[in-house]
Amino acid sequence: MLNIISEKFVFIRGRNMIDKLCQIMQNKANLLDTQMNVSSVIIKDYENATTLWLPKNKPNQSQFQTLPLWIPENQTQTNPISNLTLLKWVVTGENALDIMDSVTKNVYLIGLNKNRKIGKKKQMQPFTLLIKPSGSDCNLNCEYCFYKHRAPEVGTGRQRMSNEVLEKLVKDYMQLRFSPAGFAWQGGEPTLMGLDFYKKVVELQKKYGASGQEVGNSLQTNAILLNDQWCQFLHDSNFLVGISVDGPKEFHDYYRLNYGGHGTFDGVMRAIEKCKEYKVEFNTLTLLNDKNAEHPDELFNFFIDKGIRYLQFIPCVELDSATGKVTDFSVMPKQLGEFWCKIFDRWYDYGPTNLSIRDFDSILSYCLLGKHTICTFDKQCSQYIVIEHTGDAFCCDFFVEPKWRLGNIFETPIDKLATSSKKRAFARAKQNLCNKCLLCRYLAICRGG
């Protein structure tokens, strides 16, 4: 009989988080399986230099609720454990459960795994596709765009995905039988492919999908080309649309210009109204730069006034390739921190159920379910792979460069690209954080940002 020993750690802070952890565990029936033996729990309060040890059979809510008041023999009373705390479980048994989620050395997270049976073939972790059908080609000339300055060998000028690449991509991915199968269409500007391209996408998904298999399509766009025909299709085909808008006109038109040097705000607002008219599901993506990040109240009021209830805020931080210094249009750390604090206060007062802000949603998901919903906060960069217009695959859209090229879908099966040694090395690289981050009480929430 196999006897598996698994030691897992987690940093938590305060009794509320201990209670929350217990609630999560109680909601996971498999964690209370009779074959599980939790042989010990060690609590270490770093701020009070106190170590608590409690041997127990099973974790339960009452056990954890008593821990803050429990003091070992021969020690004087100290403050209850309400500061930075380290929990350690030693789990043994033939069918040992990983109570904490894929924890590696010096990485401390609250997370829960499913049963792992020794000898059983590990199932592939589902992943989504982030597809660049028009490469870096775009009908706007935004000053801060990182994608137009990528390595020239990846692609420049007019770039278009061929029907051959498209069919190969959809066929191979749909036959992995992920449900939902996730296709995220981005650019550059993906609408440059034309409406017929996306009609072909839907046809191929239906052709190669299995009965009952769910498919999700999203389209990130500057919205300039969206008209009645586009919006009708996006609604009928259940596309989720992300529209880039940097706030009120004076902020949006500062950097988001066309090739004639003119602002694009009015065209974007017309597209948003079209989306509302045709009941297209959409959210907005705002790039936080040195200009608009100074005005969180104005941005918040703008989106509320426009009736937009699903928001994304992405910090713009780029290096000047000539000087190696941060560009002038980048948002600064203090500026970004103050922006988030103000936006959080406004969001909280407005009502979290009335407004979705992607970063806050992910943190809530983590606190309640033990899992983030965006890769920025996740412990590894492994949620998707990028497919360029040529069929070349890359680890991440911020690293579409020769160093991180995984291969091509005509040379290597798409599932092998997603699980290749280079992709795994890239995913693990996110764990190489500075000591300040590793010891931070909020490590599990932001993963270094």
State the catalytic residues: 397
- CA 375 to chain centroid: 3
Q: Which helix (H) or strand (E) holds 415?
A: helix 414-418
Q: Which phi and psi (to 5°) does residue 241 adopt?
A: -110, 130
Give CA–CA dist 388/308, Å, rounded.
Answer: 31
Q: What is the DSSP letter of 237?
A: T
Helix (H, G, I), strand (E, B) or coil at 372: coil
Taking CA atoms, 151 is separated from 135, 188, 325, 338, 401, in Å, by: 12, 14, 19, 34, 6
Which DSSP string do the residues of 45-60 spell out, in sequence order? ETTTTEEEEE--SS--
Residues whose CB is less than 8 angstroms from the CB of residue 177 and which lie 6 or more positions away in sequence, other chains included? 210, 213
* Sign of CA pseudo-dihedral 378, 384, 386, 392: positive
Asked if 255 contacts 329 with a C-beta cutoff of 8 angstroms, the reply is yes
> What is the separation, in whole angstroms, between the first and last Cα of the chain?
44
Helix (H, G, I), strand (E, B) or coil at 108: coil
Rg of the chain (C-alpha set)? 24
Instruction: Let me know how long the chain is.
Output: 449
Q: Which two tokens stand for residue 373?
A: 């919903």
Q: What is the DSSP letter of 373?
A: S
* Strand runs labelled E in 289-338: 310-315
Give CA–CA dist 388/165, Å, rounded.
Answer: 10
Q: Which two tokens stand for residue 332?
A: 């600064």
Count CB atoms within 10 A of the CB of residue 77.
7
Helix (H, G, I), strand (E, B) or coil at 369: helix
Count CB atoms within 10 A of the CB of residue 381.
20
Per DSSP bridges, beta strands 181-185 and 215-221 are parallel
- Partnered with residue 220 across adjacent β-strands are 242
One-letter amino acid at 355 equals: L
